[in-house]
Amino acid sequence: MPGQDRLGLDALAAEADDLARLRVPAVLLFGLPASKDERGSGAWARDGIVQDAIWRLKDANPELLVIGDVCLCEYTSHGHCGIVRPAGSVDNDASLPLLAETSVSLAEAGCDIIAPSDMMDGRVGAIRAALDGAGFHEPILSYAAKFASAFYGPFREAADSAPAFGDRRGYQMDPANGRMALDEVLTDVGEGAEMVMVKPALPYLDVIRQVRDAVDLPVAAYNVSGEYSMLMAAVQNGWLGRGPRDRRDADKHSAGRSRYRHHLSCETVGTATISPRTEAFPSVCHLPG
């Protein structure tokens, strides 16, 4: 992903200062642990990479809103988003307690918003119950309509989280089934999600519109790594112009297509590179162990 870097923990204080200067109000954190195992135990470790990063960011910039991604794929040795059975399928129900424990550990570290992206059935309810039981009332931003997509490829390379076998179609959504997206969104809202997300963004503008009409909650659209990389490839090859202004215009138009047409919050990779006037867009940080 051109212009994007993994950030070490020692770089976070300076990054927090830069984000404040650029008036970026929020970050969404993804961690790269030093080691992985079959259960993804680094996801809920109290001294885990993201938990440590939250503390450092908050210490450097107390006003920064920190969103914690909740998934096991970056932490499992097999690259799947949940516990894997011996036969190779993902065990949905066995994964829920681990996702809930991860969410509580992020809240304990100071995370402001919990954002489950794993797509296990029932995970919003399990996370809400665990947070409430531990005395935390942080809102849940659910990746409610997350479609299986090749557009996640650059992120998986950056996070070293591609599945070692099979794929994620068993728990991520069928790209051709828009009606299922609404079912998933309404299910997550019923389980306690305070915000919902459609991911990827640009291929699913019709779904975003339907979700916006169906729920009276904040709706997020995630402009993912493949969308960003595709746009940057066009800029670098001169198909959209070659100058910095051409890149900024392309970024803004891409994000704005989702945001302004549908009155959304918009998450986008590479936010801080767009413009000093991107107040509504969170930045995405990858944190290597």
Question: pLDDT band at residue 234, thresholds of 50, 70 and 90?
Answer: confident
CA 188 to CA 158: how far, in whole Å?
A: 28
1 assigned to some structural domain: no
151 in helix, strand or coil? Answer: helix
Q: How many CA atoms lie within 13 A of 42 on its CB side?
A: 21
269 assigned to some structural domain: yes
Is the pLDDT reported for residue 188 higher than 50? yes
Is the pLDDT reported for residue 198 higher than 90? yes
Task: Please give the single-letter amino acid code of residue 210.
Answer: Q
Radius of gyration of the chain (CA): 18
Is the pLDDT reported for residue 256 higher than 80? no
CA 142 to CA 38: how far, in whole Å?
A: 24
β-pairing verdict for 283-288 and 113-116: unpaired
Q: Which structural domain, as residue segments, surrounds residue 249?
A: 9-288
Instruction: Give catalytic residue positions.
Output: 146, 199
Nearest C-alpha neighbor of 16 from the set 68, 65, 52:
65
Taking residues 227-233, what's their average pLDDT? 85
Whether cis (ω within 30° of 0) applies to the bond prior to 288 is no
83 assigned to some structural domain: yes
Is the pLDDT reported for residue 242 higher than 90? no
CATH number at residue 141: 3.20.20.70
pLDDT for residue 245: 66
4 assigned to some structural domain: no
Per residue in 61-106, pLDDT (tens digit) is 999 999 999 999 889 999 888 899 999 889 999 999 999 999 999 9
Number of domains in the chain: 1
124 assigned to some structural domain: yes
CA 250 to CA 89: how far, in whole Å?
A: 40
pLDDT for residue 169: 73
Average pLDDT in the chain: 83
Identify the weakest region by mean pLDDT among 64-78, 138-152, 222-236, 262-276.
262-276
144 in helix, strand or coil? Answer: strand
104 assigned to some structural domain: yes
3 assigned to some structural domain: no
**pTM value surpassing 0.75:** yes
Distances from the Cα of 37 to the Cα of 71, 104, 105, angstroms = 14, 20, 18
2 assigned to some structural domain: no
CA 83 to CA 80: how far, in whole Å?
A: 8
Taking residues 260-278, what's their average pLDDT? 41
CA 56 to CA 64: how far, in whole Å?
A: 11
